[in-house]
């Protein structure tokens, strides 16, 4: 099992500004245990979320105040909606002595687009003919 992010990067992903960036395909093919850290806001995660073995929800707006709850010895892959903010958060973790971090390139959007598993809360899905009439659909039950 690789001992740090650099040993993982020898076979998968790319390094951008010192941060290991992994595609959804890279993540699904990892042989190493990881914890996916979903940094999306509560309202985004309420509709759809990653379906992976180990996940932590730590929204970006609380991340810098609550990151200490993450044990340092884990390998963390940070994810958001499209991969826009996770490299910055991964860099922040590295600067705070978390050596095994990566960013999910393309975020949740690419994860879902490539057909990887997600959980959907049909009660929170939005419906409407235009943005001004969107409202939660409350007919189908809980996440599945």
Predicted local distance difference test score (pLDDT) of residue 12: 79
Q: Is residue 141 part of a domain?
A: no
* pLDDT range class, residue 31, cuts 50, 70, 90: confident
Examine residue 34 and state whether it is found in any structural domain, yes or no.
yes
Could you tell me the CATH number of the domain that includes residue 122? 3.40.250.10
Instruction: Number of helices (H) and strands (E) in the chain: give both, helices first.
Output: 6, 10
Are 136 and 126 within 8 A, CB to CB? yes
Answer yes or no: is pLDDT of 141 > 90.
no
Q: Quick one: pLDDT band at residue 139, thresholds 50, 70, 90?
A: very low
- Number of structural domains found in the chain: 1
pLDDT, average across residues 70-96: 96
31 is a domain residue: yes
Average pLDDT, the chain: 84
In the predicted model, what is the mean pLDDT of residues 27-48? 92
- Residue 9 has a pLDDT of 44
Q: In the prediction, which pLDDT does 121 show?
A: 82
Q: DSSP assignment of 91-106, as one string?
A: HHHHHTT--SEEEETT
What mean pLDDT comes out for the span 124-132? 58
Give the C-alpha separation, 84 to 108, whole Å.
11
- Whether residue 116 is contained in a domain is answered as yes
Residue 70's pLDDT band (cuts 50, 70, 90): very high
Which has the closest alpha carbon to 121: 36, 42, 34, 37? Answer: 42
Q: What band does 136 get if pLDDT is binned at 50, 70 and 90?
A: low
**Using CA atoms, how far apart are residues 85 and 65, in angstroms rounded to an integer?**
16
Residue 44 has pLDDT above 80, yes or no: yes
Strand 55-57, strand 35-38: pairing? parallel
**Residue 63: domain span:** 5-136
Q: How far apart are CA 105 and CA 78, in angstroms?
A: 9
User: What was the pLDDT predicted at 5?
Assistant: 46
Residues constituting the chain: 144
Q: 143 lies in a domain?
A: no
């Amino acid at each position: 099992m690789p001992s740090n992010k650099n040993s993982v990067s020898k076979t998968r992903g790319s390094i951008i500004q010192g941060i290991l960036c992994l595609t959804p395909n890279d993540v699904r093919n990892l042989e190493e245990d990881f914890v996916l850290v979903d940094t999306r806001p509560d309202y985004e995660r309420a509709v759809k979320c990653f379906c992976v073995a180990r996940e932590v929800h730590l929204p970006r707006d609380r991340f810098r105040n609550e990151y200490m709850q993450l044990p340092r010895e884990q390998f963390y892959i940070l994810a958001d909606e499209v991969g826009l903010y996770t490299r910055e958060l991964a860099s922040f973790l590295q600067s705070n002595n978390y050596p095994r971090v990566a960013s999910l390139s393309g975020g949740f959007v690419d994860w879902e687009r490539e057909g990887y598993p997600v959980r959907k809360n049909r009660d929170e899905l939005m419906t409407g003919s235009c943005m001004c009439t969107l409202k939660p659909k409350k007919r189908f039950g809980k996440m599945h």
